[in-house]
Each structure stands twice: as C-alpha cells, then as structure tokens.
C-alpha cells in the first residue's frame, strides 16, 4: 500500500524518528484527534526545510515537540469557533436587510422571489437568479409534501395557513449564507443600492461617524465571509487559508466584520482574538511570527490599531 496502515504506537515512533519530541500524552491525542488532522494539517511551520529536502520525508526543527504542533492545532480550532460566530452574526444581518428591502419593493406580490422579472435582467446575475429561483421553489414544494419528515414547521405553517404565501423573511431562515449571498448578487441595481444604504445606516447607528458601505464593498466582504464560513463549517485548517486569492487573509476578513456587525460585538470579537494570540505567543514563541504572517497580521500592532480605531469610531 502507498499509505500503509499504522498503529498509534507506530505513528508516535515515526514522529520521533523524524525529530519530533513526543511524550506519554502524544498517543492519547493521536487516538482522539487523528494523525492526519494534527500532523499533516499543522506541521508546516515546524519543519526544517533543508533537512526535509535532503531526507526525502519530514524532518522537524531542533527542539520542536509534538505539543508545539498540537498547540497550533488547538489554536486553529478555537479560531474557527470564534470566526464562525461572527459569520453567523453577519449572515443574520444580510438575511434581514435583503428580506426587508426586496419585500418592500415587491410588497403587492405573492412570493415575489419566485418571479425572474424581479431580478437583474442580464449577465451572470441573471443566471444565478434562475438557479436560485429553482432552489427556492424546491424548498417550498418539499415543505408542502406531507410524506416528507424533514419539513420545517415555520414554512409548513405559512404554506398551509396563508394560501401558500411564505414571506422572504421567513424563507430566509432556511437559506444558507451562500444562497442569501447569491440572492444579493442577483438583485437589480436599485435593490442592491438600497441594501447597501441600509448597511451604511446600521454602521452609522453603531459608530460615531458615517462610513459608506457600497454594494460593491458588500459584495467583496460577503464573498470573503462566505468562503471563510465554509472553511469553519467543514473543520478545515483556517489560520493560513487564502480562498481564491493569496492576498486574502484571516486579518482581511477580521476587518470586514467591522462593517457588517455592531460595534460592541465586533470589539468583543477583537478582544477574544487578541486573547487567543496572546496565549499562542506564550506557548510557541519561536513560531509565532510565522503563524501571524500566514494570517496577514503583524501582531500586536495591527490588532491594537484596529481595536483603537473601532473604539474611537
């Protein structure tokens, strides 16, 4: 076999041969977390590049321990938890604003989100609208089927008691972040502008000054949030992820949250992120700068500056 089966004891022995310090807890961790998830996912900063090339397999920097690698693994897991919460808040705001602005313009129509005429008239946005309408219709049809055991009570209630009418603000609860992002992208220019103005007003309400949040800016922000949300949801490595573009970093999406969540919760997020980084710096100081660089962050300057700017805004 190209990748032969190895017992946990064999895995520990392999790591030791490759220069990684192990201890009695190493096997305990590998049994619960898995060799692939911990080692293959987080070994990068700890490898000795020259020795690895010469040996033809992994070789670790002098003094590196399994606990160092596991510390980064745990840091990344906590970072996913933290980021996932913020993407959930950002998702709720987008759903609320899109539902309000779209329905306000089509208040005299039953289920207007199923009418292709209510979307952008051409181009890629039109194609997305057609696919989205098909998805929305399947959701409604599925929740009308009495044989389905996975029907949502809030959708079933509207369908059965309101003559098949399901307001968008109800249906939005069953949509993913990706789907509501597609909904925003496929809107006519007027509604996209109205949505952007709503975000601008929400920002002004939470801060001391006004900052224009354009529809183009929202588009870029929510694309990044969507991509990082997917990484968090699938339990993938996060700290060094650069979806679609090498210039997109964790610190970039950290700044994005400022414009799509309220000031208080954003500051709490920054403080929690700072706490995570402080512990990481204490636990693995020799590798800390490399990890921060992968996040697009110069610590502590970038984070302290962002926190101060937010407090003053």
What's the structural domain count of the chain?
A: 2
pLDDT of residue 1: 53
3: in domain: no
51: in domain: yes
Same-domain status, 136 and 188 = yes
1: in domain: no
Number of other CB atoms surrounding residue 104 within 10 Å: 10
Q: What is the pTM of this model?
A: 0.93
Same-domain status, 90 and 60 = no
pLDDT of residue 149: 87
Same-domain status, 60 and 75 = no
Same-domain status, 26 and 94 = no
pLDDT-flagged residues of the chain (< 50): none
193 is in which domain, residue-wise?
71-312
pLDDT in tens, 25-79: 999 999 999 999 999 999 999 999 999 999 999 999 999 999 999 999 999 999 9
20: in domain: yes
Whole-number percent of the chain with pLDDT over 70: 99
Same-domain status, 155 and 225 = yes
pLDDT of residue 131: 94
CA atoms of 136 and 21, how far apart (whole Å):
54
Same-domain status, 31 and 152 = no
297: in domain: yes
Same-domain status, 138 and 166 = yes
Answer for the pair 232, 84: CB distance below 8 angstroms, yes or no. yes
pLDDT of residue 5: 87
């Amino acid at each position: 076999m190209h990748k032969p089966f190895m017992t946990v004891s064999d895995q520990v022995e392999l790591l030791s041969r490759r220069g990684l310090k192990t201890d009695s807890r190493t096997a305990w961790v590998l049994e619960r977390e898995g060799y692939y998830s911990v080692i293959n996912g987080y070994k990068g900063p700890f490898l000795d590049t020259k020795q690895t090339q010469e040996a033809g397999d992994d070789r670790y920097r002098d003094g590196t321990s399994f606990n160092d690698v596991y510390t980064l693994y745990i840091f990344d897991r906590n970072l996913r938890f933290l980021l996932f919460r913020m993407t959930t808040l950002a998702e709720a705001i987008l759903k609320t604003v899109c539902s309000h602005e779209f329905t306000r313009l089509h208040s005299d129509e039953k289920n207007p989100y199923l009418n292709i005429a209510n979307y952008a008239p051409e181009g890629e946005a039109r194609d997305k609208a057609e696919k989205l309408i098909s998805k929305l219709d399947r959701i409604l049809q599925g929740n009308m089927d009495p044989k389905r055991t996975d029907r949502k009570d809030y959708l079933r209630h509207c369908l059965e008691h309101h003559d098949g009418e399901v307001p968008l603000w109800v249906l939005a609860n069953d949509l993913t972040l990706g789907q509501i992002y597609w909904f925003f992208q496929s809107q006519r220019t007027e509604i996209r502008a109205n949505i952007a103005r709503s975000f601008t007003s929400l920002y002004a309400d939470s801060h001391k000054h006004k900052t224009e949040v354009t529809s183009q800016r929202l588009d870029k922000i929510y694309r990044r949030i969507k991509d990082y949300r997917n990484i968090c949801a699938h339990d993938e490595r996060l700290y060094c992820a650069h979806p679609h573009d090498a210039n997109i970093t964790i610190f970039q999406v950290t700044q994005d949250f400022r414009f799509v969540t309220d000031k208080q919760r954003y500051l709490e997020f920054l403080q929690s992120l700072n706490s995570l980084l402080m512990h990481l710096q204490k636990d693995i100081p020799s590798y800390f700068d490399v990890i921060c660089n992968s996040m697009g962050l110069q610590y502590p300057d970038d984070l302290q500056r962002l926190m101060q700017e937010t407090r003053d805004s």
